Amino acid sequence: MKVPAANVEKAARTNWLAMGAAALMLSGFGVTTAMAQQGKTVKWGAAREIASLDPYSFGETFTLSVLNHVYEGLVRYTGELKIEPALAESWETVSPTVWRFKLRPGVKFHNGNPLTADDVLASLARVTHETSPLKGNLPAYKSSRKIDDLTLEIEVNGPYPLLLNDLTNIYILDKEWMEANNASLPTDSGKGIKGFATDNANGTGPFVVESRRTDSRTVFVANPSWWDKPRHNIARIEFLPITSAATRVAALLSGEIDFTNVAPLQDLQRLSASPEVKVLQTNELRTVIFAMNLKDKLFESDVTDKNPLKDIRVREALYRAIDVDSVQRRAMRGLSRSTGAIVAPAIPGYTAAQEPRLPFDLDGAKKLLADAGYPNGFSFNFNCQSDGLVNEEEFCQAVAAMWARAGLRPNLSLGPRSTQTPKRVKGEFDVISFGWANEPMIDAYSILVQVLRSRSGSGGVFNWGNWGRPDIDALIDKAGVELDNAKRIPLMSEALMIAKREHLFIPMHNQPMAWAMRSTVANTVQASDNKPRFWLTQMR
Amino acid sequence: MLTVALLAFVIFRFVGDPVELMLNEQASQAQRDELRERLGLNRNIAWQFVTFVGNALRGDFGISYRNQQEVFTLIAERFPATFELVMVATLLSLAVGIPLGVYTAIRRGSLLAKALEFVSVLGVSLPSFALGILFILLFSVTLQWLPAFGRGEIVQVGGWSTGFLTPSGRLALILPGITLSLFQITLVMRLVRAEMLETMRTDFIRFARARGLSDKAVHFRYALRNCLMPVVTVTGLQIGNLIAFALVTETVFQWPGMGLLFVQAVTFVDIPVMAAYLMVVSFIFVALNTVVDLLYAYVDPRLREDAVTGAANAR
């Protein structure tokens, strides 16, 4: 079932005409529509729909990564996950808390308006507004001011080394466009008012939104006046969400889509077997660990007077009882990368010393349990999600069985993310499976301050099991204000090493990720942040 | 419908907490609490319920937590897709189910009739998601005749989006239509067959035959007509079911209807969408029941007579 691009184009335009008002709003983009008829089209079958076209409406990595084709930040990540200038041409720190950015001259929004410092200030005001769901993405922001049309300063709360990392995800909107459409404030689910930017977009990025029908198709066309030299030859992206994995695979095999960023692991062999399809498989940044309840009592156990998990010997026993190779082979279908570290190698803070795992040693595990005073084991609650991590259900079941062999009695509680998360947040668990990608900042500071840090102020939001330690906290706080990476990164590595020595967590693996594409896609960049980048993609 | 709304609200207590899914990993605890406060989720359930009903009466279902669009618009946008799919499935089930039912009743015991009955058991027992995927494998991947997902090109007619007017839209209807209707077809067929067998045994059919009427007239004009009452009832009520259960078919075929919207709302704990969806579906059920009752009188003249005499007697 292939429809020639020109036909689709015509049909799409008829639609727009019929929709009158919608056509009006897009009339500024007529040039790009004409251009779309010449170049290549890529049909992108995604596993789900993006939440909105508004980059500040929903702090979800996938939505932001799709919108990055339309909107851009002051800085961006390269295909190798290094930070490079984007809308800002250069920057300097005027004082430890003030950063000065020089904007790239000649950048135009899709509606033709030039990019100025006012646009950046308006965007920063919108994203840090109290009702903005993305407020947390810019935690250190204090204020900003304009120096001249192309220069601005951002002031942060205190010395903060990760401002650039945070800014990669703060996309810049056009001030006049927001004001003209009453969209200067973010949408607020509480008030129940929808926003103009939810269905309309006006960015500076390599692609322009041509049409959007949620759950069916969103069309992006190349931006002919993009400031950067295009390294892609794509004229048109059709974004097609297909929720059902089997249907997505079928659509790829039949040629109805060219690319998917979520190829189901169980179908990789079948996909690779097709001569028309190529599978790109690697490991993503997300590291999967087991985190343990280290409060005074277990949540659900036959040991009621104390918490056995607070004994390092018990934690080591749990660790040694896991046959990670068999988990990797069976539950993860040989595709995960087993690790002894709690952050991926690409994350600053990782060192090779964190990599070795404790060996699988069932007798040793039993002996450790006996030494700790639990020769007959104990029961505990084991909370996993059915729709969270890759093959989470499978690896949790496998590990539960392995712990049972060591004499422990894990009660596996499996459920969808929406029902398991509240229990996790309230600390109603003894062991959980847990995945952390350190996105969007791509720095170990993310897991350190959010997960490892004891709860205080804005730190330790994910410290659900009271596993904080003063020595680690001190290192995190020091790293949080150290601007010199040469000093900052070793501080983080040291904190991670303490966590490793104390077996605060049981590391498992880096998740596999798989993309699949037909031969129509010549090449693309698959970075371990699992974000498709069509501005770096070539079609045949 | 008020009961449905109340039940729905009680259930929502157990589907989870949207706040944890709405904010990203960097949000602080204070931001989480604040959002919960703004959404009114920390209020008690009675307050939430009263607010919801009050707003719903004014036609205001709020905005979706997930994509921040007005819920009413979201559902109104999706309704045509589901409606067209369900209509195709219903027409298919009648157009195929009734003749097959009549055939298996008349030619009871023949090889073909037995084969059809056997296949109908399969139709009843095969879950529609398995069937849908089998269809996709055969017709989209192997034969490449029909699209595996979506609605094809659609045309906007006023507020209604239709797939009937474009070739790709019509092609896209075939697989989901058949998948959704298969259970219906077998249901109608078995119903017609059972009713036909029952009617064929009655005296008036025997008299009709005795009057020397042709087989065709006996079967279709007399026997079938008497079977249609339960068929109308069941089909009418099943339209409601089809709309409600289209969600499985819609998920398999990425059919952008209300069911798909609901499934996504559930995974995201999008309470406004779930609540509104349940209200709309329960409204459709109530409406269909009424319509079916009215149709009775139309199909079965006896009911009309009874109603008239009944009214006369009452007077």
pLDDT band at A190 (very low <50, low <70, confident <90, very high): low
Q: Would you give the DSSP letter of residue A114?
A: B
Which range of A486-500, A521-535, B199-213 scores highest in mean pLDDT? It is A486-500
Q: CB of A223 within 8 A of CB of A69?
A: no
pLDDT band at A189 (very low <50, low <70, confident <90, very high): low
ipTM of the complex model: 0.80
Q: Does A21 touch chain B (CB under 8 A)?
A: no
Calculate mean pLDDT across residues A92-101.
Answer: 94
Cross-strand pairs, A90: A102
Q: Would you give the DSSP letter of residue A400?
A: H
Structure tokens at B51: 């607010």
Q: What is the pLDDT of residue B142?
A: 87
pLDDT band at B4 (very low <50, low <70, confident <90, very high): confident
Among A10-24, A368-382, B4-18, the least confident range: A10-24
pLDDT band at A210 (very low <50, low <70, confident <90, very high): very high
Q: CB of A374 within 8 A of CB of A314?
A: yes
Q: Does A245 touch chain B (CB under 8 A)?
A: no
Q: Do domains A26-241 and A285-512 have the same CATH topology?
A: no
Calculate mean pLDDT across residues B21-39.
Answer: 70
Q: B256-259: which pairs have CB atoms within 8 A and are 24 or more residues apart?
A: B256/A213, B256/A214, B256/A215, B256/A216, B256/B78, B256/B81, B256/B150, B256/B151, B257/B78, B257/B79, B257/B81, B257/B82, B257/B85, B258/B75, B258/B78, B258/B79, B258/B81, B258/B82, B259/B82
Residues in contact with A376: Cβ distance below 8 Å, sequence separation at least 6, in sequence order: A407
Query: Minimal Cα–Cα distance from A25 to chain B, Å?
Result: 17
Residues in contact with A340: Cβ distance below 8 Å, sequence separation at least 6, in sequence order: A354, A355, A356, A357, A358, A500, A507
Q: What is the pLDDT of residue A112?
A: 95
Q: Which of B14, B72, B149, B157 to probe the A interface (max A CBs under 10 A)?
A: B149
Q: If contacts are CB pairs under 8 Å, which of residues 46-105 in chain B contact chain A?
A: 60, 62-70, 74, 77-78
Give the whole-angstrom CA distance, residue A223 versus residue A234.
10
- Spatial strand order of the sheet with A141-148 comes to A88-95, A98-103, A151-156, A141-148
Closest CB from B140, B252, B266 relative to A244: B252
CATH 3.10.450.50: does it fit domain A26-241? no
Return the higher-pLDDT residue of A410 and B284.
A410
Among A79-83, B105-109, B310-314, the least confident range: B310-314
Which residue type, as a one-letter code, is found at position A258? Answer: D
Which of B196, B188, B187, B185 has its CA nearest to residue B102? B196
Give the torsion sign (CA, A253, A254, A255, A258): negative
Percent share of chain B, pLDDT over 70: 90
pLDDT band at B13 (very low <50, low <70, confident <90, very high): low
Domain map (residue ranges) of chain A: 26-241, 285-512
Q: Does B230 touch chain A (CB under 8 A)?
A: no
Q: What is the pLDDT of residue A191?
A: 64
Q: Does B264 touch chain A (CB under 8 A)?
A: yes
CB-CB under 8 Å, A461 with B27: yes
Q: CB of A317 within 8 A of CB of A290?
A: no
Among A239-253, A338-352, B274-288, the least confident range: B274-288
Write the secondary structure of chain B as one string of H (helix), E (strand) and C (coil): CHHHHHHHHHHHCCCCCHHHHHCCCCCCHHHHHHHHHHHCCCCCHHHHHHHHHHHHHCCCCCECCCCCCEHHHHHHHHHHHHHHHHHHHHHHHHHHHHHHHHHHHHCCCCHHHHHHHHHHHHHHHCCHHHHHHHHHHHHHHHCCCCCCCCCCCCEEECCEEECCCCHHHHHHHHHHHHHHHHHHHHHHHHHHHHHHHHHHCCHHHHHHHHCCCCHHHHHHHHHHHHHHHHHHHHHHHHHHHHHHHHHHHHHHCCCCCHHHHHHHHHHHCCHHHHHHHHHHHHHHHHHHHHHHHHHHHHHCHHHHHHHHHHHHHHC
State yes or no: pLDDT of B33 exceeds 70.
Answer: yes
Start-to-end Cα distance in chain A? 19
Q: Count Cβ atoms below 10 Å from residue B89 Cβ, excluding itself.
A: 26
User: Tens digit of pLDDT for each residue in B126-172?
Assistant: 888 888 888 998 998 888 889 888 888 888 887 788 888 888 888 89
Q: What is the pLDDT of residue A293?
A: 96
Q: Does B168 touch chain A (CB under 8 A)?
A: yes
User: Tens digit of pLDDT for each residue in B237-286?
Assistant: 888 888 887 888 999 999 999 999 988 888 888 888 888 888 888 888 88
Among A243-247, B8-12, B88-92, the least confident range: B8-12
Residue of A nearest to B249 (CA): A244
Structure tokens at A453: 């840090």
pLDDT band at B88 (very low <50, low <70, confident <90, very high): very high
Calculate mean pLDDT across residues A334-347.
Answer: 94
Which of A172, A208, A177 has its CA nearest to residue A86? A172
Q: Would you give the DSSP letter of residue A330?
A: I
Q: If contacts are CB pairs under 8 Å, which of residues 438-457 in chain A contact chain B?
A: 439-440, 446, 450, 455, 457
pLDDT band at A17 (very low <50, low <70, confident <90, very high): very low
Q: CB of A390 within 8 A of CB of A514?
A: no
User: Tens digit of pLDDT for each residue in A139-174?
Assistant: 889 999 999 999 999 999 889 999 999 999 999 999
Compute the mean pLDDT over every residue in chain B, rounded to the nearest whole number: 81
A101 SS3 class: strand
State yes or no: pLDDT of B56 exceeds 70.
Answer: yes
Return the higher-pLDDT residue of A41 and A36.
A41
Among A44-58, A105-119, B63-77, the least confident range: B63-77
Structure tokens at A292: 């343990």
Look-up of token digits 């056509």: A23
Q: What is the pLDDT of residue B65?
A: 80
Residue of A nearest to B74 (CA): A214
CB-CB under 8 Å, B148 with A136: no
- Domains of chain B and any CATH numbers: 2-57 (no CATH), 74-314 (1.10.3720.10)
Give the torsion sign (CA, A217, A218, A219, A220): negative
**For domain A285-512, which architecture applies?**
Roll (3.10)
A110 SS3 class: coil
Query: Minimal Cα–Cα distance from A133 to chain B, Å?
Result: 6
Q: What is the pLDDT of residue A36?
A: 40
CB-CB under 8 Å, B168 with A247: no
User: Tens digit of pLDDT for each residue in A456-481?
Assistant: 877 888 899 999 999 999 999 999 99
Which of A435, A426, A171 has its CA nearest to residue B20? A426
Q: What is the pLDDT of residue B314?
A: 44
Give the whole-angstrom CA distance, residue B132 versus residue B253.
8
Compute the mean pLDDT over every residue in chain A, rounded to the nearest whole number: 89
CB-CB under 8 Å, A60 with B34: no
Query: Minimal Cα–Cα distance from A171 to chain B, Å?
Result: 16
Q: Is the pTM of this model over 0.95?
A: no
Return the higher-pLDDT residue of A147 and A21.
A147
Question: For residue A5, what is the enclosing H or E element?
Answer: helix A5-18
Give the whole-angstrom CA distance, residue B150 versus residue A248.
11
Q: Does B174 touch chain A (CB under 8 A)?
A: no
Give CA torsion, residues A360, A363, A365, A366, to 10 deg: 160
Query: Minimal Cα–Cα distance from B285 to chain A, Å?
Result: 25
